[in-house]
């Protein structure tokens, strides 16, 4: 199947693994899941204003294959920079089905 985008980056997916507890409760540890090809594009200021009512900095739209499992609790690593997922991962059932998500760079 041909994907509805042009992959321009690789994305490492880290899923939360939280079977352990510490004195503060459940301990969230992220475990590497897989590396996948993605199409990563800057999220436009116009789209940001329409959707959130403000301009979000360091925010990107990511499009990838529909068979890749990503949840909104996963952490994303692209070019040695960690990102968080904003909202939910969306399934798009167009002519060529795919998934899409909005990510934001994590601050240190």
pTM of the prediction?
0.79
How many Cβ atoms are within 10 Å of 40's Cβ, its own excluded? 20
Q: Specify the CATH number for the domain of residue 100.
A: 2.40.10.270
8 A C-beta contact, residue 36 and residue 65: yes
**Length in residues, the chain:** 108
Instruction: Report residue 34: phi and psi, to 5°.
Output: -170, 165
Domain residues for the domain of 26 are 9-105
What are the structure tokens assigned to 49, written together? 């204003």
Q: Is residue 1 part of a domain?
A: no
Q: Is residue 3 part of a domain?
A: no
8 A C-beta contact, residue 59 and residue 103: yes
The mean pLDDT of the chain is 84
The answer on pLDDT for 62 being more than 70 is yes
Tens of pLDDT, residue by residue over 87-97, are: 999 998 877 88
User: How many structural domains is the chain composed of?
Assistant: 1
How many Cβ atoms are within 10 Å of 62's Cβ, its own excluded? 24
**Residue 101 carries which DSSP code?**
E
């Amino acid at each position: 199947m041909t994907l509805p985008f042009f992959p321009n980056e690789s994305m490492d997916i880290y899923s939360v693994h939280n079977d352990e507890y510490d004195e503060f409760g459940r301990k969230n540890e992220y475990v590497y899941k897989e590396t996948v090809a993605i199409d990563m594009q800057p999220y436009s200021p116009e789209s940001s204003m329409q959707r959130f009512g403000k301009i979000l900095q360091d925010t990107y739209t990511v499009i990838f294959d529909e068979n890749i499992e990503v949840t909104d609790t996963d952490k994303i690593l692209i070019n040695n920079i960690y990102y968080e997922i904003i909202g939910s991962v969306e399934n798009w059932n167009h002519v060529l089905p795919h998934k899409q998500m909005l990510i934001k760079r994590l601050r240190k």
